[in-house]
Homo-oligomer: A and B are copies of this chain.
Amino acid sequence: MAADVAAGLIQASLRGVDSHGVRLFPHYLRALKAGRINPDPTYRFEHTAPAVGRLDGDHTFGHAAGAEGMRRAMELARQAGLGTVAVYNSSHFGAAAYFALMAAERDMIGFSFTHGDSLILTAGGRRPFFGANTICFAAPCEGEEPFCVDMATSLVTWNKILQFQDQSKFIPFGWGVDEQGNDTQDAQRVAALHPAGGYKGYALSMMVEVLCSLLTGMPFGRHIIRMYADPLEKKRQLGHFFMAFRIDSFISLEEFKLRMRQMKDEVRAEPPKDPLVPIQVPGDPEQRVAQQRTKDGIPLSQAEFEALSRISTECKLAWAGSFT
């Protein structure tokens, strides 16, 4: 279980997704100590139909319950061609890519979805109802890392707003709104994020809520316990939704992976807007950062470094981190 939490956080940090990386570890430990997270879960899996299962995460780390859910989905897919698992009684699972990539690295297609607490502005509304609910899709590719789309349904992440807050900078118009639902460029006053593509992001967010709340039996929208603003004793009762597709049930795996590579290469060879900035496909930026950070390490802010150092002292665990 700890292995999935560690692997999920480190993978996110290596891929440059710092918002969902090792900086969350101190928060998770606090949630563990406060009783939100169950460190010793008893998973209950029901195989309800050849291609469907339900997994009770018993309020453990979302990374762990999610990984168990995706493993089960892949098992189902081996038999049924496609497997889907609805996970309930879970918690924050970090970056969705961790789970979809589990499938892609085993030559399957993976989908992972999660909901979160209210964060994106409702279309036509003044405040958020749905979270920046996440859609993630990964598929294997010949000779290189899997294709991977991992997107929140907000235009920018909340973490991006925090970065602008730290630097006391104005945010571009169209990223967020204040408490009254009015557009603001003052990062300190952002109370909700604009959905990606206006009402389209709002619609996608509600679609993800159907999968993660209605199909799992977990709370939706404004009923969801907030990650930070609610007491850490409260269990979050999050739901996730995973799908795995066995590619050779559709087409030859070899042909699929070769054509994936061909498609990626053709897109990268398209005429760029700026001749000096080559075109990338989804997943390319993360893979580039991962190559660099695997060599050079994960950069930490001073606050992150100190928080991790305190934990290592408390737990009497040596670690090799250094603040640069």
Q: Which residues of A are interface residues toward B (Cβ below 8 A)?
A: 48-52, 54, 79-84, 86, 109, 122-127, 129, 135, 137, 139, 147, 149, 151, 155, 181, 195-204, 206-207, 209-210, 213-217, 220-222, 245-247, 249-251, 255-256, 259-260, 263, 266-267, 270-274, 277-282
Contacts and interface: CB of A to CB of B under 8 A. Distances in A.
A284 to B, nearest CB: 10
Given A50-B50, A50-B81, A51-B51, A206 B122 contact: no
Contact of A210 (B123, B139, B195, B215): B139
Q: How many copies of this chain does one complex carry?
A: 2
Contact of A137 (B82, B207, B273): B207
Given A124-B277, A155-B200, 4 more contacts: A123-B279, A126-B270, A214-B259, A217-B251
B52 A279 contact: no
Nearest to A88: B251
Contacts of A250: 48, 52, 54, 86, 215-216
Nearest to A256: B214
A247 B48 CA distance: 11
Contacts of A213: 259, 263
A206 B272 contact: no
* Residue among A151, A195, A198, A203 facing the most chain B CB atoms (10 A cut-off): A203
Given A51-B50, A149-B203, A221-B263, A123 B280 contact: yes
Which 10 A-B pairs give the minimum distances between C-beta atoms? A49-B81, A196-B197, A52-B81, A197-B197, A51-B51, A49-B249, A52-B249, A203-B282, A50-B80, A51-B80
B122 A216 contact: no
B151 A260 contact: no
Contact of A81 (B51, B127, B278): B51
18 contacts: A48-B81, A49-B79, A52-B80, A52-B249, A122-B279, A123-B279, A124-B272, A125-B272, A129-B270, A139-B210, A206-B263, A206-B281, A207-B282, A214-B251, A214-B259, A214-B260, A215-B256, A220-B259
A273 B149 contact: no
A223 to B, nearest CB: 9
A70 to B, nearest CB: 16
B80 A210 contact: no
A249 B51 CA distance: 9
B255 A217 contact: yes
B129 A221 contact: no
A151 B200 contact: yes
Contacts of A206: 147, 149, 263, 267, 281-282
